[in-house]
Structure 1
């Protein structure tokens, strides 16, 4: 593939998706990450896009903090087998009769799918999770057991801001499940979105026990905004794609449960 053709495909991906990652483009185009970075440098110099940490956004796109926050629809296509495996493992941590808080995200959405019809109460700041658990077409569901916060909607399908935060201050839950943009041994659990970080902290504050659900690609990513140090989280549920050396590093600071995932 000629460089001009490859850059054209890179630009098409950025324009159509709004945001892309270097790692994803390298895999899709069958080239090295360094090649993609050089392409992004050239396209940025030509004013076609804006580079951000880990990828790029459209030239007219808004970058919120450090790192890249793709739309929820794009994130849902990444590591689907790992996310399902993580959700199945996290399901073991939910007992009938519990009240659980579930943050917005594509991995937490997979957990919510497995919780349909369970005898539990749910508090969430995700419109997608709320709709899934209150679907009027499913007669197993009791909508009165699911509470949705208000707030402003983010690209991650999270409701955040003062209204969401005020609502969460009134809840007390047994266990909270949240996703994360990044996991770093020193930086902790982070997100590029300030509002999402603040609301995640409030959601975690409702619970006696807190669990982060994150696939292996989140390791060594750092967003601009911290929402939890390792001592605030009781357990990290990740997948078997996390290399042993990274798992050993994290095991020094947090309890890890590993879900065996097989790509499909």
Structure 2
């Protein structure tokens, strides 16, 4: 298979999804990781797609309207090393004795793991995180009440408003970031995040750099509501400028394997 043939297949994949990992492309094309990385470098160089941590993303704005929500399990296994690095950096913002909100989502889950045995009070609506902390944690845990929504793995009562819990920081993830703000495909997440945002002094966004090229349909929060973003070192100059222009403090979580490892 020629370079041009592989590049066409990669671009066809990116028309159907916002991101493809190195492993995804290896399985599809049957070539080595080194070959895939050369293909990614070339497509990024000529501006057809964007090189991001662990793989390749559609160019900003390209195909954004086509994005559909991934299942929790699918998203959990993407860009894992970047998410762990982001969580480690974010954990440094938490002091002993703090009361914090940790939202559902795979990056926030990684943060919760690191805080499990810390002297902190955690409120979460994440079913997987609540289960882990209940079994393995020593932190003080408050769990959202209501029904379990297996997708996107959250606990929520649609008949109540914001919880009676106040936090110094609300740690939240997102499916996509654009100049307008944070976006989600699932309308329930838009409602829940908006409610929890009213319960904290500060909102800290945890997002890997793939999210800068994804724009689902539901606007959740304007960028002006975000005080800090913790993001991996795949952040582009254009993405950094957009965040800085919105007044957001940027914390870069360095990854030793950045742009050299799988996204799973």
TM-score over 0.5 for the alignment? Answer: yes
The match for 2:149 among 147, 153, 157 is 153
**Structure 2 unaligned residues grouped into runs of 5+:** 30-35, 41-61
Change beyond 3 A, Cα 1:98–1:82? same
Deviations 1:53-88 (A, max 9, x none): 959xxxxxxxxx963111111111111111011001
* Structure 2 residue aligned with 1:230: 223
* Structure 2 residue aligned with 1:103: 103
Deviations 1:89-144 (A, max 9, x none): 10011111111111100000000010011111111110011011111xx3x525x5
What is the total number of aligned residue pairs between the two structures? 216
Question: Comparing both chains, which one has the higher relative contact order based on Cα–Cα distances under 8 Å and sequence gaps of 6 or more?
Answer: 2
TM-score after normalising by structure 1:
0.72
Q: 1:37-56 counterparts in 2 under 5 A?
A: 54=63
User: What SS is found at the alignment partner of 2:252?
Assistant: strand
Contact 2:170 2:204 in 1 (8 A): yes
**Structure 1 unaligned residues grouped into runs of 5+:** 14-19, 34-52, 56-64
Change beyond 3 A, Cα 1:241–1:94? same
The match for 2:250 among 223, 236, 256 is 256
* Structure 2 residue aligned with 1:184: 178
Change beyond 3 A, Cα 1:161–1:182? farther
* Structure 1 residue aligned with 2:201: 208
**How far off its partner does 1:154 sit?**
4.9
User: What SS is found at the alignment partner of 1:86?
Assistant: helix
User: What SS is found at the alignment partner of 1:248?
Assistant: helix
- Alpha carbon RMSD of aligned pairs, Å? 2.9
Contact 2:182 2:220 in 1 (8 A): yes
**How far off its partner does 1:151 sit?**
3.1
* Structure 2 residue aligned with 1:27: 25
User: What SS is found at the alignment partner of 1:82?
Assistant: helix
TM-score after normalising by structure 2:
0.72
Q: Is the aligned partner of 1:199 residue 2:192?
A: yes
Q: 1:4-19 counterparts in 2 under 5 A?
A: none
The match for 2:138 among 138, 141, 164 is 141
Change beyond 3 A, Cα 1:160–1:67? farther
Q: Is the aligned partner of 1:175 residue 2:169?
A: yes
Q: Is the aligned partner of 1:124 residue 2:124?
A: yes
User: What SS is found at the alignment partner of 2:152?
Assistant: coil
User: What SS is found at the alignment partner of 2:83?
Assistant: helix
Q: Which runs of 4+ in 1 moved over 4 A?
A: 30-33
User: What SS is found at the alignment partner of 2:215?
Assistant: coil
Contact 1:82 1:262 in 2 (8 A): no
